[in-house]
Amino acid sequence: MISPNERPIGVFDSGVGGLTVVKALRERLPAESLLYLGDTARLPYGTKSAATVSAYAAEAAGALVRQGIKALVVADNTSSAHAIDHLRATFPGLPVIGVVEPGCAAASHASARGRIVVIATESTVQAGTYPRTILHLRPGATVVSKACPLFVALAEEGLVEGTLAEMIARHYLDPLFSGPAERHGDCLLLGCTHFPLLAPLFARLLGPEVAIVDSATTTAHAVEDLLENRRLAAPAGHAGTLRTLATDDPERFARVARAFVPWEMTADMVERVDLG
């Protein structure tokens, strides 16, 4: 029998993108065991309605809860934007943390003049959760949200630098960061699991005046605080493990995942599961 604090943290996403959050969690909290679920059979979530995303998120979370997790991290921004309250109500007693709140807190802090640009999927932008949360934390800020769906495809194709990636980044970002300097965004909040892969390109195009906030690393900090506050942290010296589940083909999952993580990723490390 493992002790309650040795139980894994459940992490779910629509696919492989949430591995950016897993990577940040492993770096920050090496003693914690992680159970990751990528709902690749129903990917993408970012084009779907609030009702569909909430239903999918509850099913994915339910599958992790049945495995005996001690806390749930919603790595998927679209689910975090639409379904965090629904998940907290569905699983009372389970600590649930999404990526929106930590990302917004970090952006509110990092932005010098309170001009924050959030880039995300179409469905996340429609939810309006990012601007609402930022304005709650930093009243008076100006928040512009922009759907950038092509960045998801670029990250999955490994096209994170070069002519094509740069053209698409300019297409989305130039209108938000050009014109009179006082009206530019001064902070870019990456509101999608895939976007941290493009962060070096964004930094190069936008220059040092624009703070880039990645919700994966900020979420790892928030998880650390949460575990400490709830006295749920794994014992010091515990060797955290990673188990990876996917709802579709492990072969493709592993291949695409290699762009997202520094560790070796092969199909035999991914277990196929059905959520039904």
Among 7, 11, 13, 127, binds ligand DGL (CB under 6 A): 13
Q: DSSP states of 74-126 as a string?
A: E--HHHHHHHHHHHHHHSTTS-EEESHHHHHHHHHHH-SSSEEEEEE-HHHHH
CB 199 within 8 A of CB 214: yes
Comparing CB distances to ligand DGL, the nearer of 10 and 44 is 44
Comparing CB distances to ligand DGL, the nearer of 44 and 250 is 44
- The residue whose two tokens read 């389970």 is 94
Residue 54 interacts with ligand DGL (CB under 6 A)? no
Residue 177 interacts with ligand DGL (CB under 6 A)? no
Residues between 235 and 254 that touch ligand DGL (CB under 6 A): none
Residue 234, C-beta contacts closer than 8 angstroms, at least 6 positions apart:
5, 6, 29, 31, 32, 33, 240
Span near ligand DGL by CB under 6 A; candidates 2-10, 25-33, 70-78, 110-118: 70-78
Among 20, 54, 77, 145, binds ligand DGL (CB under 6 A): 77
- Residue 174 Cβ vs ligand DGL, minimum distance, rounded to whole Å: 23
Residues in contact with ligand DGL, total (CB under 6 A)?
A: 17
What's the rounded Cα separation, in Å, for the pair 25 and 220?
5
Comparing CB distances to ligand DGL, the nearer of 70 and 244 is 244
Residue 83 interacts with ligand DGL (CB under 6 A)? no
Among 192, 198, 210, 220, binds ligand DGL (CB under 6 A): 192
Residue 193 interacts with ligand DGL (CB under 6 A)? yes
Q: What is the separation, in whole angstroms, between the first and last Cα of the chain?
A: 28
Residue 19 interacts with ligand DGL (CB under 6 A)? no
- Residue 257 Cβ vs ligand DGL, minimum distance, rounded to whole Å: 13
In the stretch 114-153, what mask flags binding to ligand DGL with x, by CB under 6 A? -------x--x---------------------------x-
- Residue 238 Cβ vs ligand DGL, minimum distance, rounded to whole Å: 29
- Residue 122 Cβ vs ligand DGL, minimum distance, rounded to whole Å: 8
Q: DSSP states of 134-174 as a string?
A: HHHHSTT-EEEEEE-HHHHHHHHTT--SSHHHHHHHHHHHG
Helix axes 100-110, 77-90, angle to 10 degrees: 130
DSSP code for 48: S
Cα torsion 204, 209, 214, 219 to 10°: value is 160
What's the rounded Cα separation, in Å, for the pair 238 and 211?
35
Contacts with ligand DGL, residue ranges (CB under 6 A): 13-15, 17, 43-46, 76-78, 121, 124, 152, 192-194
